[in-house]
Amino acid sequence: MQRRYKGLTAAIAALTIAATLSGCGADGSDGDVTLKLVAADYGSGEANSSKKYWDEVARAYEKKTPGVKIDVTVLSWKDVDREVAEMVAKDEAPDLAQIGAYADYARAGKLYPVDNLVSVPTQANFLPMLRQAGEVDRVQYGLPFGASTRLLFFNEKLFDDAGVRAPKTWEDLEKAAAKLKDKGVKYPFALPLGSEESQAETMIWLLSGGGGYRDATGTAYQIDSPSNVETFTWLKKNLVGKGLTGPVAPGKLDRQQAFDAFTRGEVGMLNGHPTLMETAEKAGIKVGKVPLPGVDGEPKATMGVADWMMAFKQNGHRKEIGAFLDFVYEDRNVLSFSDRYDLLPVTVTASSTMEADPRNTALKPFLEQLPGSELYPVGETSWAKVSESVKRNIGKAVEPDGDPREVLEQIAGDARNAESAASSAEE
């Protein structure tokens, strides 16, 4: 990654010297301004709540910028998207929201375009694939904030005890899971297809099988494609049907349950992210990490995830919002957030700094995956409803009497309906 972006990093450095302020002609008051920020909580409790991070950033910014105050509200991930939606519906939108999706608000004309907010160096510094993922109709509205990728985690001790190695194909994975089961491992392969985060687990497996949510052009859903049907047919027959996914039915197993079981030493393999790596190692689990294999080897793509910052027009504080965001996306702040929550930086310069730091050796496999990863289709207003349908239905595809084709066709039908509704709303 460092070599790939060396030229761009130099260009950004040059631009930083030439441009330090947001675009001219901004609306907003010349008097005192309070910016309201609503953000998601990445912490696991009060001790490491994101409120502490944002309060530090806000106070540092207020100290250097007299006349601007930052009012911070941090909400749990279970509540934050809904709370912001309710604020917007009541015409009480915050100035800034750091949440999971931006496209609905962008298409409704409620957000500032990013190129009207931040300086050119700030916008140019976002990793290209994340910057593009923040676009609606080729205009960027979402600023990436925190990213991660997924790798196949395995318990090295359990693997050693079972005499197996990290799998390189699906057949290897199945054989390893069978040997783990023979050794009494409770969850040879934990497959969380419950309602919490099954849209992620599903996407990981679809990409591994050569498919995905969208077609190769990224213009249409392909949820019930032959490759996707084959993937879930294999999961049902070769993992779930052979009792290799543990005592809890995948459709009833949430991601956090699976992660907790991994930290207790009860799971042989699962798909994990950097936060789980640290938690498991603190619990004494020696974690091995490899990309989830494809059918016959490396998959065509792996899954990446990004959360989003967005700026609402309602209160008319464009100039003040842009200047604050320039500060938020300085390397020291991006790296501080990434370090606290084991996430990947979303900017070129912060990524290069993290990659070069020997203290971040454990994160390098995740960093290497990010540039070539595939993200959810967050730029589509239909995605929220498609994600809901996946969470509600995908577990049925691997039930004993389930039909993967029928389930994927049902989700595909929901996707077509969601796209149709989104198109009608835009007309």
Residues 378-402 pLDDT 10s = 888 888 889 999 999 999 999 999 9
d(CA 209, CA 238): 14
Residue 278 belongs to what H/E stretch? Answer: helix 274-282
d(CA 178, CA 298): 22
Express each pLDDT in 254-283 by its tens digit.
Answer: 998 999 999 999 999 999 988 898 889 999
Choice between 197 and 64, residue whose per-residue pLDDT is larger? 64
- For residue 46, the SS3 value is helix
6-148+306-372 shares its CATH topology with 151-302+381-426: yes
- Percentage of the residues of the chain whose pLDDT score is greater than 90: 72
Residue 348 has pLDDT above 60, yes or no: yes
d(CA 238, CA 261): 22
**Helix 274-282 / helix 255-263 crossing angle, nearest 10 deg:** 30
d(CA 213, CA 199): 10
Which residue, 249, 268, 242, 245, is CA-closest to 176? 268
pLDDT value of residue 6: 38
Residue 218 has pLDDT above 90, yes or no: no
pLDDT value of residue 31: 59
DSSP 124-155: HTB-HHHHHHTEETTEE-PEEEEEEE-EEEEE
pLDDT value of residue 372: 82
d(CA 221, CA 64): 47
pLDDT value of residue 105: 94
Tally of residues, the chain: 427
The CATH code that applies to domain 6-148+306-372 is 3.40.190.10
Which residue, 221, 256, 248, 239, is CA-closest to 78? 256
Q: Fold for domain 151-302+381-426?
A: D-Maltodextrin-Binding Protein; domain 2 (3.40.190)
Q: For 164, which DSSP code?
A: -
Express each pLDDT in 280-333 by its tens digit.
Answer: 999 999 999 999 999 998 887 889 999 999 999 999 999 999 999 999 999 999
d(CA 244, CA 247): 9
Express each pLDDT in 12-70 by its tens digit.
Answer: 444 443 333 333 334 544 559 999 999 999 887 788 899 999 999 999 999 999 999 99
What number is the average pLDDT over the span 105-117?
96
Express each pLDDT in 131-161 by its tens digit.
Answer: 999 999 999 999 999 999 999 999 999 999 9
Given a contact cutoff of 8 angstroms between Cβ atoms, the answer to whether 151 and 59 are in contact is: no
Which residue, 146, 177, 167, 130, is CA-closest to 275? 146
Q: For the chain, percent helix, then strand, then coil, each to nearest 5?
A: 50, 15, 35
d(CA 417, CA 290): 37
Domain ranges of the chain: 6-148+306-372, 151-302+381-426
Across all residues in the chain, what is the average pLDDT? 90
d(CA 109, CA 90): 16
